[in-house]
Amino acid sequence: MKTLCKHCKICAEYTYKRTMRTEDMVSFKYCEGNKYFIEQFEYAISHPNSKGRRLKVLKSHKKGYDVDEVNVTSTNYMLKDINNVTEYLNNNVFDLRLKNLREITWRCLVQKRPMEEKSSIFPGVRLQKNKYCSRIHDGDKIFNCGCYDDEMDAYHAYVLRCEKLGFKVNQETKGHKKYLKEYNSSNFVFRIRKRASEFEGVTTDRGKFVALGTKEGGKRKRIAQFDKELDAFHAHVLWCKLNDKEVDTENYHYREFLKDEKPAMILEEFIKSRRKQPTSKYRNVSFFKQTNRWVASFHKNNKCVYKKYFDNEYEAHLAVENERKKFGLD
C-alpha cells in the first residue's frame, strides 16, 4: 500500500495545538515531511454540529501564500495528479502524517466505501425491479451497462465497460475479489442479457412493441408502437428505406418477413392501417369496456377538463358538444 510518506531518517511526530475563541482546542498530527508547509498557517476546526468536521485555514504567517488556493487539509499540494484525492488510512481526518495519507482516484475512493445499505456488494451494481442494473458515473455523464438476472453478470459488464472507456476499477473491494475468483475458475459463464425483441430495430415498452430508427450520431428515434412484433419490424424496414438506411437483408427474420408482408406500402399508410378503429363515430366519445358505458371527455392545455359516463352514445355526444361551447371550442 503506497503512501505519500518519503521515509524520513527520523520519523518525528508533531502535534498542532491552538485555542479558538470558542475555547475549543484545535489539535492534529503531522510529521517531518510536511512540517515546513503546515507551520506556515494557522488552522481552525469547522462547526462542531456539522456532519464532517474538518480543518480550515485561518491565515498565513508567510507572505506569498494565497489562503483561498490552499486545500482545507493542506494535502493537495502533495498529489501528483490534480484529479486524484487524498485517502486517510486510519479514517482520521486530523491525522496529517504522510504515512497515513495515500493518493487515490475518486472512483476508487467511492467504491471502497461501506456498502451495507446497498443492494449489492459489487461496485456500480444495484437491484432495481428484480434486475441487477450496472452503470458508470463519470461526472455528469452516465454510462448504462444493462440489466441482468445475476449480479455477477452485471458486474462483469461493468468491468468490461470500464476497460473500454479507460476507467480504473478498484481491485481491493470484496466484490472485485469475489469476481476474480469466479472469473479465474472454469465454471464462469457470462450470460448475455436477453434482448427485448429478436427483430432488429424493435424494442418493448409497457407491453407494446416499438419500432425504432437510428439518426445521425447514433441517436434513436421512436417511430410508432404496435401490438404485434412483426408490425413493428415492418415499420422499421419502411423507415430505413425512406431514409436510405441499410437493412440486414441476410437476416433470417427479414426473409421470413418478406414471405408474409409486402414492404412496398408507404410508412404513414402502414401505421394508420395498424391503428385501432375508434369505438364511436362521434369525436371525444369512446366506449369503456369495464363499465359497458360511453365516456365523454376532452382536454384543454394538456389537462382533462371534462369527463363523464353515459348509457347512450348520442347523449354523450350532446353533452360534450355543449361543454366545448362553454369553453369556446369548436
* Contact (CB, 8 A) for 68 and 57: no
CA angle 214, 217, 219 (to 5 degrees): 45
Highest mean pLDDT, choosing among 19-23, 53-57, 104-108 = 104-108
Percent of the chain with pLDDT over 70: 78
Q: Is residue 279 part of a domain?
A: no
Q: Is residue 6 part of a domain?
A: no
- DSSP output for 178-241: HHHHHHHSTT----PPPPS-SSTTEEEETTEEEEEEE-TTS-EEEEEEESSHHHHHHHHHHHHH
Residue 115's pLDDT band, with cuts at 50, 70 and 90, is: very low
Q: Is the pLDDT of residue 106 over 80?
A: no
Using the Cα atoms of residue 103, residue 107, residue 112 and residue 114 in order, give the sign of their dihedral. Answer: positive
Per residue in 178-212, pLDDT tens?
888 888 887 777 766 666 777 778 888 878 888 88
Residue 117's pLDDT band, with cuts at 50, 70 and 90, is: low
More confident: 132 or 139: 132
Distance CA 297, CA 291 (A): 16
Domain boundary (78, 104, 130) is at 104
Q: Is residue 163 part of a domain?
A: yes
Domain enclosing residue 218, as ranges = 202-274
Tell me the average pLDDT across 209-217: 81
Q: Is residue 190 part of a domain?
A: no
More confident: 114 or 56: 56
Residue 138's pLDDT band, with cuts at 50, 70 and 90, is: confident
Percent of the chain with pLDDT over 90: 6
Q: Is residue 76 part of a domain?
A: yes
Domain boundary (104, 127, 160) is at 104
Q: How many distinct helices (H) and strands (E) make up the chain?
A: 8, 15
Residue 116's pLDDT band, with cuts at 50, 70 and 90, is: very low
* Contact (CB, 8 A) for 176 and 169: yes
What's the total number of domains in the chain?
4
Mean pLDDT (the chain) is 78
Residue 260's pLDDT band, with cuts at 50, 70 and 90, is: low
* Contact (CB, 8 A) for 58 and 45: no
In sequence order, the β-bridge partners of residue 202 are 211
More confident: 61 or 104: 104
Tell me the average pLDDT across 161-177: 87
Q: Which three cell numbers stand for residue 244?
A: 436510405
pTM for the full predicted model: 0.39
